[in-house]
Amino acid sequence: MSKTWFEWHDLYETDARLQQRLAIVREYISTSLTHSPPGVIQLVSACAGDGRDVLGALPSHPRAKDVQARLVELNPQLVERGRITLESTPPFNQQIELVNGDATSSNAYIGAVPADVVLVCGIFGNLADEVALRQLIGNLKFLAKSGAFVLWTRGHTQGVAYSEVVRQQFREANFEEVDFRLTATGDMGVGLHRFWGETAPLPENYTLFVFSGTPEKAR
């Protein structure tokens, strides 16, 4: 039976690995905010779902007032749910934009980058292959400031530790690994890297990555 990405999010109610992944992502958001330079902290999240990672991490953080965030998500129901959560958590509704748009296009980030914190969670498992992964990691220079934190997730399937491939590619692209953790279930990697390269100006109408996964196959 086909399901939508909105329905996929129901897994957060029951799936231990997704719940553990969310807890680690929130912790890494918190770490990134703590170690960001003084002043405004610009955050972007690609393929953001309903934004529960950012919306869950922010309220308790002492630097929350400094955050300006743009969360980009294609599924309108998820955006709607995120906006409802946002409306009930002032003052964050002034600081966080939940945009219903195509996160694969550079246009989605105009005016919101370069960012101090970049979330690419739930994306790497939805790319075609390692070439597509390398391309996306290479394109992070359009979104990230030098020194920016990049948060990512990658599930394992049938015993294949795909997160090791991701870590290797970040190493090859000269990112610094700040932390990496597997969920207690042992089959989901969550990483926190730091970009120390040079930021590149954001091109217009440029495809940063191709999201080819489907919610039936995703876990």
Question: Which parts of this chain interact with ligand SAM (CB under 6 A)?
Answer: 5, 47-49, 72-75, 78, 102-104, 121-122, 211, 218
As measured in angstroms, the least distance from the Cβ of 117 to ligand SAM is 14
As measured in angstroms, the least distance from the Cβ of 217 to ligand SAM is 10
The three-state secondary structure class of 89 is coil
How is residue 157 annotated by DSSP? B
Chain centroid to CA 134: 16
Nearer to ligand SAM, 51 or 114 (CB): 51
The rounded distance, in Å, linking the Cα atoms of 2 and 213 is 13
Nearer to ligand SAM, 105 or 197 (CB): 105
Task: Tell me how far CA of residue 14 lies from CA of 8, 11, 50, in angstroms.
Answer: 11, 5, 17
As measured in angstroms, the least distance from the Cβ of 18 to ligand SAM is 8
As measured in angstroms, the least distance from the Cβ of 61 to ligand SAM is 19
Nearer to ligand SAM, 161 or 218 (CB): 218
Nearer to ligand SAM, 1 or 39 (CB): 1
In the complex, residue closest to ligand SAM by CB: 122
Q: Answer for the pair 50, 74: CB distance below 8 angstroms, yes or no.
A: no
As measured in angstroms, the least distance from the Cβ of 58 to ligand SAM is 15
Nearer to ligand SAM, 168 or 207 (CB): 207
Beta pairing, strands 176-182 & 188-194: antiparallel
Phi-psi region of 19 (alpha: psi -120 to 50; beta: other; left: phi over 0): alpha
